[in-house]
Structure 1
Amino acid sequence: MIDFVSLVRPILLLLVFLFVMLVSFRILSAIATRQNVRTRVTEQLAPPSESDAGSLRGHETNSAWVRLVNTIEERGFSLADTKDDQLREKLRAAGFTHPSAPRIFTLTRLVMTLALPAIFVGVALFMGNTIGFIRLYVGGVLLALLGLYLPNLFVTAKADRRREAMTNGFPDALDLMLVCVEAGLGLESAFDRVGREMTKSHPLIADMLGAVVLELRAGQNREDALRRMAERAGIDEIQSFATLMIQSSKLGSSIATTLRIYASEMREKRRLRAEEKAHRLPVLLSLPLVGCLLPVMIGILMLPAVIRVVRNLIPTLGGP
């Protein structure tokens, strides 16, 4: 009974700690969201200043994270990364396009690297357990490494899911573009129409096309807008599409024919990817089957022989 109580107590403390953290996070998020809404409403109702009049550039979101990062840097602690350009591209591929995203990412890694070992030590001291030096050192180092690399793993996984979603949804966008172009719309109007139609089915593709439309309406060259779209997406298929559109515009070839051929190739690539995943399933299933079923089958087949050997051998060894 004593062992059961000593086992349940840390679990209950951990659950209470997680519950308090979750409730606190929800409350802080609600307060931050409400404050952001109030700020935006105040800015919308306030008269525009002379510096902001006629400007097409968006302002930096005054969120709680941005204010925290700015406050820390004002105190003299720089959150700039040594490889800021690579980090910005990595975060942009994961969907974090805010200008302060690299600094927030660096702050998150720093906080997690220091907070996880501190929580480990605090929980151990609160439970009244004596921590040895080896256990403290190993646990602190492992948790510090976890806090250092866990944000990277999260961003990488989110970027991979984002690329997969955009790759799977881009052939549908090409089909809709082909319909719009054959109906007589221009490329900019086709982008606008397809982006509005795919808002619910493929929101990432819709955001990408909407950004291109805004750049074209702001007066940017079509070639530059398409190249920027390919750079933001970071996907080979979309980069090839942008290059193909630029070459078609320069050579004067039919955009409808180009879209039809490329859409057919994209659908074929998507089918090949699905077949590749399907062919990989038997190999992936063989590992758990061999690891789980093979020992059981060997035990079942060898058990009668082992029983017979034991029955015949033990009386022989026992003597008359």
Structure 2
Amino acid sequence: MAAASLFLFAALILLPALQTKKLVTRSLLSEGIPSRRSLGAQQELNKISAQKPIDAYFRALEKERGQPDALEAKLFRAGFYQSSAPVIYTLCRFAGVCLGFVATYALLSHFLPPKVPDFIALVVSAFIGLGCIIMPSIALDKFENAQKQIYRRGFPDFMDLMITCADAGMSLEAAVERVGAELAGTHRWLGIQLAIMNLQLRAGKPLRDALRELSDRIGLEEARALAVLFRQSEELGTSLTEALRTYSDEMRSQRILRAEERANALPVKMMIPLGLCIFPVVMMVVMLPVVIRMKGIFF
């Protein structure tokens, strides 16, 4: 199993990465860019690295139309856009079942009395091994939540740049394209999502629909509220710049409130390590002289 895992890792991940690196180097050299560390080379590398997740999203979108719970779409939302990601995910589930069965059977064989038949150990190990099949799904959900946190950290910067572009007189479509290009270096995944939104706008999709699909992809309440804000501003004819500025101020207030909430919850979370690690040591330091004196008097 170890040899097979190493072979699959080399065949599915290492070799395509090396081939991609060679192709990028050749393309940069053909365009007259001698060094990969130059500014032009970094821009080209950002464009090339962003194009792969975009292509993976549209492939997953085609499969998701026929199957709402497509695995490729969920992997893309979690940040895994490689074509080999579904295969690796399936292998991880199979490996989890095998490892759970083998580990449980070894522990039961070692600790159970000899009178207990082996059939019970096999049945219990099989049930625990089948239960381990959900471990990759739990890990995938955690990766998806971590990806949402990445989007949440970059979304206020997106709002500030949109306000700047709107104040400069740019249209919303041009502002989205410019902001997506600017965020590709600092907030890569948010820039990729904005590039997908820009392609949808170029294809003729209305802005309200593109924003709604953006909020569905990144799964943030802030993005859903922004989509509603654009729709209401368009229907009521209000100033979009003022609406963006007001919403940006509200987002900053919400970010401060979330930070204060985490700070207020910190003392409660610190009670467990304090009670388990520091409090016993303090009690030993305080009670040790008393125990020594009592030992000299009563014992």
The CA deviation at 1:262 is: 0.7
Aligned to 1:258: 243
The CA deviation at 1:217 is: 0.7
The CA deviation at 1:115 is: 3.1
Q: Is the 8 A contact 2:167 2:241 kept in 1?
A: yes
Give the alignment of 1:195-234 within 5 angstroms: 195-234=180-219
Aligned to 1:24: 7
Matched, 1:247 2:232: yes
SS of the aligned residue for 2:241 comes to helix
Matched, 1:172 2:163: no
Between the aligned partners of 2:56 and 2:210, the Cα distance in structure 1 is 22
Q: Which one of the candidate residues 282, 301, 307 is aligned to 2:292?
A: 307
Q: Which one of the candidate residues 107, 111, 117 is aligned to 2:94?
A: 111
TM-score using structure 1 length: 0.66
Matched, 1:158 2:143: yes
Between the aligned partners of 1:31 and 1:96, the Cα distance in structure 2 is 17
The letter for the 2-side match of 1:207 is: I
TM-score using structure 2 length: 0.70
The letter for the 2-side match of 1:230 is: S
Aligned to 2:79: 95
Percent identity, please. Answer: 31
1:74-97 Cα distance to aligned partner (Å, 9 max, x none): xxxxxx9xxx53465644532356
Matched, 1:293 2:278: yes
User: What is the count of residue pairs matched by the alignment?
Assistant: 252
Larger radius of gyration: 1
Aligned to 1:75: none
Between the aligned partners of 2:266 and 2:204, the Cα distance in structure 1 is 49
Q: Which runs of 5+ in 1 are unaligned?
A: 1-16, 39-57, 67-79, 125-130, 315-320
Q: Which one of the candidate residues 265, 269, 275 is aligned to 1:284?
A: 269
Report the RMSD for the aligned CA atoms in angstroms. 3.9
Between the aligned partners of 1:23 and 1:179, the Cα distance in structure 2 is 50
Q: Is the 8 A contact 1:92 1:232 kept in 2?
A: no
Between the aligned partners of 1:224 and 1:99, the Cα distance in structure 2 is 28
The CA deviation at 1:118 is: 6.5
Q: Structure 1's 277 and 141: CA in aligned 2 closer, same or farther, altered over 3 A?
A: same
Between the aligned partners of 1:142 and 1:21, the Cα distance in structure 2 is 24
Matched, 1:145 2:128: no
SS of the aligned residue for 1:95 comes to coil
SS of the aligned residue for 1:238 comes to helix
The CA deviation at 1:227 is: 1.7
